[in-house]
Amino acid sequence: MIHNFNAGPSILPKEVFQQASEAVIEYNNSGLSILEMGHRTPEFTAIMEEARFLVKELMNLDDHHKVLFLHGGASTQFMQVPMNLLDPKDSVAYADTGVWSSKAIKEAKLFGKVDVVCSSKEKNYSFIPNDFAVPNDAKYFHLTTNNTIYGTQWQSIPKTSNVLVADMSSDIFSRQLNFNDFGLIYAGAQKNMGPAGVNMVVVNENILGKVKHPIPTIMDYRNHIAEESMLNTPPVFAVYVCMLTLRWLKNLGGIKAIEKINEYKATLLYNEIDSNELFTTHVNKSDRSKMNVCFAVNNPAHEKQFLDYASTNGIVGIKGHRLSGAFRASLYNALPISSVEFLVEIMRSFKQSIA
């Protein structure tokens, strides 16, 4: 049996794979594969509508928040957000808590003044800053809610009167938040929502249309809202798998139910790291991510040994990112508790094997 801890593209529910694989051969007795179905057919229009409706239902969004499924992943949003919300004379505030937030900062600087109001870079992004202020005149405040590479997470969202923009790529749908507090949320699908190839955007329509400069047609959120994510050909299969995954989450009990499961999985693994003298983590305890658990061995000589031992036992995807090294276990929504329990057993048996 394989236990998949990959950081993304990541594990998805088995029942979603089954349904998606059947649709690749033939979708809903239509005589067509989902891969060859026109995006403006009644069949796919219904899929897109259900996917958008499920997002609104699961996140309890008000009528002002519109749901879009777009191309380009979260990286495109690094430029699309300031393009839609920022004029050159304006300033915005960003929190620098990891690689992806620093990439977002770089893109935003092409469109206006960026004020980096807090950063944990000097300590290798091992914590979430908590002593900072957002200028009142900032058009928006941007943060990355979960930092996949370094294993930190905003456990509470800062209160601000500014428009709040969040990259939730690696913890979307994993915990309860008041999503209506955000002016704009974006998330690549390939962690908790579906396969790589589609990006979800939730945007409050009231923050749009304020900039004076022209926006290319395909980059203007208002055009995508007007066309209900059908401005151009959407990534049909990726949207379909997202819809199936959102159905799965709803049937499980929604975000409230999955949050309890995610809390349990994270506690289980962190408790083992803290109690097993072979392992350690450099992440500030109060800022530990419940999605991406980054840890290391106290003796570097044991690192390759543990990776080989884990691989031999069917554990895949725990090698850390090239920038942070060591290990990373991603505990996304679809990862079963049994896989975390098995990883803990392997950590204990590895300790015994080298004693």
What does the H/E/C string look like for 284-347?
A: CHHHECCCEEEEEECCHHHHHHHHHHHHHCCEECCECCCCCCCEEEECCCCCCHHHHHHHHHHH
The answer to whether 154 is a known catalytic residue is no
The amino acid present at 232, given as its one-letter code, is N
CA distance 97 to 128: 7
Q: Which of 66, 96, 100, 154 is catalytic?
A: 100
The amino acid present at 207, given as its one-letter code, is I
Q: Which of 96, 139, 171, 191 is catalytic?
A: 191
| 348 burial via Cβ count (<10 Å: 0-12, 13-18, 19+) | middle
The answer to whether 63 is a known catalytic residue is no
The token duo for 66 is 């519109």
CA distance 345 to 351: 10
The token duo for 278 is 């072979």
Give residue 105's region: left, alpha or beta (phi > 0; psi -120 to 50): alpha
* Contacts with 150 (C-beta within 8 Å, 6 or more apart), sequence order: 97, 98, 99, 124, 125, 126, 283, 294, 324
Q: Are 34 and 161 in contact (CB under 8 A)?
A: no
Q: Which of 167, 171, 220, 287 is catalytic?
A: 167
3-state secondary structure of 238: helix
CA distance 71 to 229: 10
The answer to whether 100 is a known catalytic residue is yes
Q: Where are the extended beta strands (E) located within the chain?
A: 3-4, 65-70, 91-96, 113-119, 140-144, 146-147, 152-153, 163-167, 184-188, 199-204, 279-280, 292-297, 315-316, 327-330
CA distances from 173 to 78, 88, 216, 292 (A): 21, 34, 30, 15
Q: Which residues are catalytic?
A: 100, 167, 191
